[in-house]
Every structure is written in C-alpha cells, then in structure tokens.
Structure 1
Amino acid sequence: MPVSRRSRKREVEKISRERIDYLLRLADDVFLEKPARAQRYADLSRRIGMRNKVRLPKIWRRRICRNCKAFLWPGVNCRVRLRPRRQSHIVVTCFNCGHHTRYNI
C-alpha cells in the first residue's frame, strides 16, 4: 500500500525533531568537557533542520548565536543580562563574535 506524501513528510519531520533534540541534549551534556564536540553536535542539528525544513525548538534556538552559530553556554562563552529599560528584555552577548541578541521578557 503506497504511503501518501503528507504522511511521509510528517514522519520525516518527527524523526528530524527527535534527532535535533537528541543532538542538542548531547551538546549540552558534553560542552564543559569537550566544547568542540558540542559545537559539532549543534552544527549537525542545524543542518538536519535546514535539510528537512524543521525549525529548532525555541529553547535550543536561543542557545545558538545568530551571527557565528556558536553553541552558547552562559558564563563560559556568552553573557546574559536583564535590562529593565524601555521594555524589559534579556541581552545575550556572544564572546566569540561580540554579537548582541535581545529577547523580550
């Protein structure tokens, strides 16, 4: 029995999300001992997402620098600050490239 395109696409998206989440959890666990390996896991997860047109979950998307694509670990290779001015927001500064990213609270 042939499988429809839609169900095949859903299955591919599901598998992609599982692999992305697994790789980024591994990157999170390994970062302090082997940052290069954690970066490799983050790169692989990004490429899986791009290949299958699946977005990274928000909690993981914020852990990757938008400019240099480095896997961020607060206090090690990025700085996180709360700013009450204008609208309250969080500012994340990457130490690799110096890029600032704002997230509204």
Structure 2
Amino acid sequence: MTRKKRRSNKKPAQFVEAAKEHIRVYFLEAQKRFNEDPQLSHRYVRLARRIAMKFKIKLSSQQKRLFCKHCYHFLMPGKNSRVRTKKGMLIYYCLDCKKYSKFGYH
C-alpha cells in the first residue's frame, strides 16, 4: 500500500500579504463610513473577519477592539458602544446587542 501525501493548506505568501492589506483597508473604511452608513461599516468588519479566517491571519489587538465579538458590528465609542475601565480591564458595551467584551490592559 502506498500512502498519499497530504496537501498543504498553506497559502502563498503574496496572497497572505495582500489579505493583510485588505483587512487593514476594510477597518479604515469602516471607521470612515460609520457616520454616513453604519450598516456598510458593519459589512466591512464582516468582510475583514472572513478574509482573516480564510487565510488564517490573526487580527491585532487594536483590530479586535474595533468590533463586537457577539454581533460583529463595528464599535464607535459614544455612538453605538460604551467603554469603561474597571480593575485593569477595558470593558466595551455594545449598544446594538447589549453584550459586554472585556480586554485587559497594563
């Protein structure tokens, strides 16, 4: 019996770099367009997440704080979210889905 070799799931480096750039642009556009069209900025966040998952790219901690972990809506402090500090934690409260996300800071 001969064994078959497994196919590599690794994507070419140039595709990964292009995907990282797309993710960065989507988050910037979401920030710019939020006041005009919040639904469009929510869509940009979903697209950025989908690209990150497809290419197995980890989002930076700054990018993770830009959207709600529960409803995946773009968070703009003062508009659709509240940010509080408590015991070394940043607590983001999404006004769309009424859920909390906690991040540590030091």
Instruction: Report if TM-score (shorter chain) is over 0.5.
Output: yes
C-alpha deviations, 1:43-71, integer Å up to 9, x for none?
A: 11111111111122221111111111111
Q: Is the counterpart of residue 94 in structure 1 residue 94 in structure 2?
A: yes
- 1:16 maps to amino acid: A
Which consecutive segments of 4 or more residues in structure 1 shift more than 4 A?
none
- 1:19 maps to amino acid: H
When normalised by structure 2's length, the TM-score is 0.83
Normalized per residue, the structure richer in helix is 1
- Structure 2 CA distance for aligned equivalents of residues 47 and 69 of structure 1: 11
Once the 2 structures are TM-superposed, how far is the Cα of residue 8 of structure 1 from its aligned partner? 5.7
Match of 2:28 in 1: 25
When normalised by structure 1's length, the TM-score is 0.84
Match of 1:54 in 2: 57
- Structure 1 CA distance for aligned equivalents of residues 74 and 11 of structure 2: 31
Match of 1:83 in 2: 86
Corresponding residue pairs, total: 97
- 1:104 maps to amino acid: G
**Alignment identity in percent?**
29
Q: What's the Cα RMSD here?
A: 1.6
Structure 2 segments unaligned to the other structure (5+ residues): 1-7
Quickly say closer, same or farther: Cα 1:8–1:53, change in 2 above 3 A.
closer
2:11 touches 2:55 (CA, 8 Å); kept in 1? Answer: no
